[in-house]
Amino acid sequence: MDLVVIGAGVVGAACAYYAAEAGLSVAVVDRGPVAGGTSGSGEGNLLVSDKAPGPELELARASLQLWSQLAQVLPSDIEFEAKGGLVVAEDGEQRAQLREFAAAQARSGVAVEEVGPGGLHDREPHLASGLAGGFHYPEDAQVQPARAAARLLEAARRAGVRLFLGEEVTAVMTTPEGRVSGVRTVRRRLLTGAVVNAAGTWADRVAELAGSHLPVQPRRGFVLVTEPLPPLIRHKVYAAGYVADVASEDAELQTSPVVEGTPAGPVLIGASRERVGFDRRISAEAVRRLAAGATGLFPVLAQVRILRVYCGFRPYLPDHLPAIGPDPYVPGLYHACGHEGAGIGLAPATGLAIAQQLTGGTTEVDVGPFDPGRLTEAAGTRPGRGS
């Protein structure tokens, strides 16, 4: 076997899909079900609007093109919607900050249009009055993340990929020289010359199994799901503070209103961020803040019932960039993780880049800034070899 992918979320699914397309024999292993981790607890955002000019924005733009292509070949139930995003400002100061941010993005090729206060209700009739304006990003889109991961893996299986669910990886095997030779699970041994670590918030543990190190931490977030509603919200709509929260290093609770509809009718409300380990307990304060932020943007939601609240854990790396590429110490080990809340959007370009690296090709996107070696170098120590 040429490759074992650890992780059946959307990033692992994309790695398997593009590796199989490149002619590699592939197996995917996950201790749980498809999209049982971060992929199954997100909103499915495919965004350029929240990314400053730089490598992550370029990766996002490449991924958006690939998602558009995948939407033509995958079943329609992945709910791909090129709905566009609308970022709104409460006051003139926020609007000026958004204008500066948007101008830099536009210079990098992002399509963006300023919307004056009078034009906001033409875009979103139910928005609160008194907002200072906003910016429309027509390229922003959305998918149903769990279905997207499942359909990618179904396509990969048709191309010959083998899928082993409910099997935790207990060891990444290496040769005496330290090169990857396979993985062991609770049920079997899979021999391979390459392993892709797409284990999301558990990627640090997979790295340790191989004798390496990756400082991935979980960053908890909650999503509120309303009762099914008639179409009310046309775009992904969020407040200006969301961009700063995404880039923040703060471990304490942060919330900024993010509101969007779904084809099935429920409205999804986010977003919160905090680093509390893998604590799944519902935070009443986070829920209160999210509800208040959503009704502040859309007063029509004040009388709407919340049917459920769920949390997920974003795989956080200290410099807010994913790790994509070969491990610096363990030949044959590749990382595709640490995308934080952008994994759905960045998955296709990540998977394609990994496949191109595995087959010795040139990557279409410059993945140098995502080199996992930058993280161990920043730590200042070389990890000890595993057994």
How does pLDDT run across 21-65, given as a tens digit for each residue?
A: 999 999 999 999 999 999 998 889 999 999 999 999 999 999 999
Residues 8 and 34 sit within 8 Å (Cβ to Cβ): yes
Residues in CB range of 292: below 8 A, 6 or more apart: none
Q: Where are the domains of the chain?
A: 3-62+145-216+319-379, 82-140+217-314
Residues in the chain: 387
Residue with the two structure tokens 């100061």: 93
pLDDT at 382: 59
pLDDT at 42: 86
How does pLDDT run across 96-146, given as a tens digit for each residue?
A: 999 999 999 999 999 999 999 999 999 999 999 999 999 999 999 999 999
**Mean local confidence (pLDDT), 265-273:** 94
pTM of the entire predicted model: 0.95
pLDDT at 92 over 50: yes
DSSP one-letter string for 177-198: TS-EEEEEESS-EEE-S-EEE-
Multiple choice CATH, 3-62+145-216+319-379, 3.60.150.10, 1.10.3720.10, 3.40.718.10, 3.50.50.60 = 3.50.50.60
Multiple choice CATH, 82-140+217-314, 3.40.50.10310, 1.10.287.70, 3.30.1490.100, 3.30.9.10 = 3.30.9.10
Burial class (CB in 10 A: 0-12, 13-18, 19+), 183: buried
Strand 195-197 to strand 333-337: parallel, antiparallel, or no bridges (unpaired)?
parallel
How does pLDDT run across 12-27, given as a tens digit for each residue?
A: 999 999 999 999 999 9
Burial class (CB in 10 A: 0-12, 13-18, 19+), 55: middle
Q: How confident is the model at residue 378 (pLDDT cuts 50, 70, 90)?
A: low
**Mean local confidence (pLDDT), 317-343:** 96
pLDDT at 88: 97
Sheet harboring 3-6: ordered strands across? 162-165, 26-30, 3-6, 195-197, 333-337, 323-326
